[in-house]
Amino acid sequence: MDSQPSLIEQSFNNRYSSWVRDALDDLPDNFTITDPSISGHPIVFASRGFLKMSGYSREEVIGRNGRVFQGPRTNRRSVMEIREAIREERTIEVNLLNYKKDGTPFWLLFRMSPVFCKEDGKVTHFVAVQVPLVSKKHRRNNGVSFSEDAGSGLREIVFGSCRREVCSDSLLDLDRVLALDSDNRGLEIEESCEASDLEKQRAAIASNNVLSVLIHYSESTGRAVCGKRCSLPGTGFISSSLHISLGRIKQSFVLTDPHLPDMPIVYASDAFLKLTGYDKHEVLGHNCRFLNGVDTDAATLNQITESIRTERACTVRILNYRKDKSSFWNFLHMSPIRNASGKIAYFVSVQVEEGSKNQDRHGLSLEMWQLSAVGAIKVALRSLSMCAGPSKS
């Protein structure tokens, strides 16, 4: 927990120039920015408009997950749609019932969009814009015409609620809110609220304005961001969510993509980098053959090639070379990983150095140790629905 504040600081400081917070604060819209690479996917920035709308202070919001604004009548289906959009790293727009700090529920149009690293295509942040909504009845009663200018009509009615009765006398109990978050049954509300075309347009414009600020203040740091995935050709793509899940697996392994030219590595574990001495940028996008050297057995390489061709697992003992040119005997297990339709999505290669004294296999045999890594990787891939992407079909 002690490292969480520093991670949140670094979330902005490492990618944007020091003026980015002031520029974002100058925007009039209600929005938050979250970082999916930090445990708990916390808010790392909240606009002044959002704080005024919700009644929270910045200190009460930064470092918290957006679920704290949900309550008893927040639709569980909408929450699940947002979660799915985060996993798939795509834009989503839903009508959502949230709660202010004083317990008052209010309707909003929630538009969330990913921000991508321009260099490698990974998601760096999500921008979530919130546009307060007003029921049709409330609009009629207040004489608001939505053919009027967006800025005037919507600024006059900021906190309109779509419910006739609203309030709670005290703050929502946080533990109760978190418990409800795991309940997928869905709680219906008496009256829903639909966003108008004007409100949808306003949300899109606000989202683009935030993205423009982030793009501008990222360019001077050399770590530019963009609104669309801009991964380098031939390097493949592994989502931020999947990176986090795979990072929990401590064995040495790589994922290779057979659908890309020359079957490059698209993920390399920290243990693999430590074993071979290479940095991540020297590995990603390259075929595994860089581990081979003058004394690597050609017959063993042919065995690996044949297992790839026939889409079967294989286990071999092969002489490989580190970055410093020192050699080591590698007990290599390679296995295909299939998607939900049964087609090959990736190949995983698990490495164990012969005679290594630094690896505790928890009493497992070498074969079971490698198979446990393959199993954990399969679970991570399938649970995050990453194996069924268009490039894998």
Q: Which domain holds residue 9?
A: 4-226
In angstroms, the CA 346 to CA 266 distance is: 9
Q: Is residue 232 part of a domain?
A: no
CA distances from 202 to 111, 154, 241, 242 (A): 10, 10, 29, 32
**Tens of pLDDT along 206-232?**
999 999 999 999 988 888 999 887 654
- Same-domain status, 150 and 215: yes
pLDDT computed for residue 39 by the predictor: 84
Give the pLDDT mean for 92-113.
Answer: 95
pLDDT number for residue 392: 40
44 and 179 fall within a common domain:
yes
Number of domains in the chain: 2
Has residue 106 been placed in a domain?
yes
106 and 185 part of one domain = yes
Query: 245 and 191 in one domain?
Result: no
* pLDDT value at residue 183: 39
**Mean predicted confidence (pLDDT) in 190-197:** 76
Task: Determine the pLDDT at residue 389.
Answer: 41
Q: What is the CATH number of the domain that holds 18?
A: 3.30.450.20
- pTM summary value: 0.54
Q: Do 215 and 251 fall within a single domain?
A: no
pLDDT confidence of 169, banded at 50, 70, 90?
A: very low
Same domain? 184 vs 256:
no
Query: Nearest to residue 57, comparing CAs of 67, 71, 43, 70?
Result: 43
**Which positions ≥6 away from 27 have C-beta within 8 Å?**
47, 49, 206, 209, 210, 213
The residue out of 203, 226, 249 marking a domain boundary is: 226
Task: Answer yes or no: do 201 and 272 share one domain.
Answer: no
Q: Are residues 264 and 174 in the same domain?
A: no
Q: Is residue 231 part of a domain?
A: no
- Report the alpha-carbon distance of residue 309 to residue 286 in Å, rounded: 19
Least confident range from 50-54, 145-149, 221-225, 248-252: namely 145-149
Model confidence at 161: pLDDT above 50: no
User: What is the rounded average pLDDT for all residues in the chain?
Assistant: 80
Residue 234 covered by a domain = no
- Tell me, what's the pLDDT at 243? 77
Asked if 256 and 219 sit in the same domain, the reply is: no
Instruction: For residue 177, name the pLDDT band (cuts at 50, 70, 90).
Output: very low
Q: Are residues 92 and 186 in the same domain?
A: yes
Range of weakest confidence among 106-115, 127-136, 184-193, 376-385 = 184-193
Which among 226, 261, 291 is the end of a domain?
226
Pair (126, 274) in one structural domain: no
With a cut of 60, say whether residue 384 has pLDDT above it. Answer: no
- Whether residue 376 lies inside any domain: the answer is yes
In a domain, 109, yes or no: yes
Render pLDDT for 61-80 as a digit per residue (tens, 0 to 9).
999 999 999 999 999 999 99
Pick from 253-267, 301-315, 374-388: least confident: 374-388
- In the prediction, which pLDDT does 340 show? 67
For the stretch 334-372, pLDDT in tens is: 999 887 667 888 999 999 998 876 555 566 777 888 888
On whether both 21 and 137 belong to a single domain, the answer is: yes
Long-range contacts of 59-62 (CB under 8 A, 24+ apart): 60/101, 61/32, 62/8
Strand-pair partners of 328: 320
- Structural domain includes residue 235: no
Q: What is the DSSP string of 91-145?
A: -EEEEEEEE-TTS-EEEEEEEEEEEEETTT--EEEEEEEEEE---HHHHHHTT--
5 pLDDT exceeds 80? Answer: no
Which one is predicted more confidently, 94 or 152?
94
pLDDT band for position 82 (cuts 50, 70, 90): very high
Q: Which of 226, 257, 282 is the last residue of a domain?
A: 226
Asked if the structure places residue 378 within a domain, the reply is yes
